[in-house]
Structure 1
């Protein structure tokens, strides 16, 4: 790879260098040293679907010539070019992908004397680039990076560290099938990953009272004074609100809800850390016998958010392998729904009002693609087991004591399906629909009065429609996954989301 050897590429680096110089002048009390351009080409080992592949990553940008103690050193906006050679992406991208956009996070290693710190170069983005005829791909990322401040004299070195690359494929019709799990990359062994060395001079702040002076240590040992490296937050912590449940959901992925791969070679399975976040899902539940519906997780009240771990597992099999193409992303979570109120006409004439409590099991969400065109099928499924409890019942305005445990006799499966491209992935959300069979009721009545058959005759049976709309996922601190999560509109209404 020749990196930034062409005239247009050199001009782009010069612009980046000028941008870095302007940024350094605008930080107020920061360093005003002249900026100098850098270009470093490195080889990274990246974990793709079919195994580890070698990827070329070139970093261009600017760093200050010198720094000063206690004054921010601001690198210019880097240009990080990722070149993925032919064959490496086989089995990683969904079918019919023609171009790929991406976002990238690089960990820059910062060192001075015996001190070190990590600067997160996050939210570097690349516009969509076409796949080469041979399957190769080149992506060019840019974005702002944090400043670094030191409190001691001495050279400060910046080195390229691990990279996390998130690919965003686009199909031939311009739609985006799904964001893919992050590809983790580490610098290949045996190469110098140094990006820049910035000498820092200036007066050092005095050591705290009682601390050893330079060259003096406890028990007579030499000891460096307690000096720090401060990295500006990226993004600022104030932009990372704590809006999701602090703990990951319990449970896991229920295989029985997910379309299995066609018989053939077993897919390659990747178990991932997953992204812990939350999202809102609101909707309507219809009771067929009553010809009426109730609002579930009312967006106009105080809706409950789903606690999710997104992209926890992927399964991939390329089209050339026995059984054909299969690609799947699995997520799981907890879906706690608030009590809903409903008013309906029992048996077509008797007004009845009640409150309904939903008891839900672990949630599984899976999206993927089976087969290749013209027989390609995209799927999206969200499923869990649910029980209902009915209480605070009134008939024609008169309370009816149904007891504390009037509920469905057993949990029943709720399986909702999204239609591509309206529902792309759990990260984006969208509408989903399904029908459920409500079991008979048990435990209804008090004082020796058995009301089980009454509720079973009124509510139990098949073909009860559930229509939900999931909003975008919020992952605090993750690039592109904004928080707090917006509350979507009910199905059938304008999809414009709102914030809670």
Structure 2
């Protein structure tokens, strides 16, 4: 289904300090990574870095591999493919994690990549996630993260130059079975060390019909008098070069893409001062040894409580508590989605499913103000039951009946079980915002990644009264250790067109739906 996507102005990159939204992810079909252009350049770079660990600054190694197109036309969006960021942290990092009683660690990376054309420049953020890794008994810790990256568009003639910059690594400690040992992650900031003469250059991509072949050194832009003037608001250097355009996410933010309706209506329980947002993401299905995609879904949310108080270090902490719900055709559920796996390694099984919300979704967002900077942590808790509506095994339709579902909601290990009892999914996000800079990681209004891990319960009621399919589905899907990564888009506040501020401008389409439709990241 496609919502009415009449767009307002393109959203600005919002800098915000409050309000709330989030959600979830579980099963669906795999999708391939974006294909690279013909004749790609294969890049394998090994760079020296210095990483700030709790035990001090330590020399580390970062290896970056990717494929870039061999050339591009002016105005053509290009995207590096097959991007991996491998971080080799010294033995001191292992000791720091062991001190947190960790046996495993999961990593998420954010690599700042400088993009320049002539003297004009911009920055892109390459996000990556790594599978859980066991801490070595001795020696360095090596983590390899993968993920899709934003597109870059050259605005003039001449080479686009991609250079590696600062790197942030979020480390989530875990027990031997991969479950989290605590709610907090360890953030490690890394900077390039001992710059090479090329300045961390990864690749160059010639832009324009007369561009030179790719090389390891920059070349000046084409100063053709026929180059058009940039549109209003486009950064320019002192010679008039237009900065390369970097998309906000791998597929950009554009109205008109397929998405279910997601707007306030009279039958919704939340008022016109509530917010809405789109979410999507991936989940590992451990038994199937694969990743699954949840289609773009709508979440509505309303703030219930706001607290402000100092912490033990004298920093100001603002905590926002909110409640939310999934919204699809007036029901608290996701849109239907299909997933195909090779059950037991050889039997193709395709199911059509929905995720049903069976209780309150709660969001707790705590932002700590350290001087003029902000560090934020978010917990989302929601009980979700997985319902199967159709099933095919090896191409043969099987009648699952109308009551085929997990016998209980999906279950995570909650870091605060005394105050949050019962079976529910827990998602966690962390974000930072430096003064006068864009936020990184997860912030409630701008969105971003949330992660979690869930146990999928056994199935019940499957078979339509003719045959018992409970054990087939349970054996194929149910079990612990299913890692989840959700991406939330920027929120829409329906009141923004009335009470518009620089922070809210461009969040919504004219019919009060979220402007930004996120793209799932592995």
Shorter chain as denominator, the TM-score bin is: 0.3 to 0.5
Higher relative contact order (CA 8 A, sep 6+): 2
TM-score by length of 1: 0.46
TM-score by length of 2: 0.44
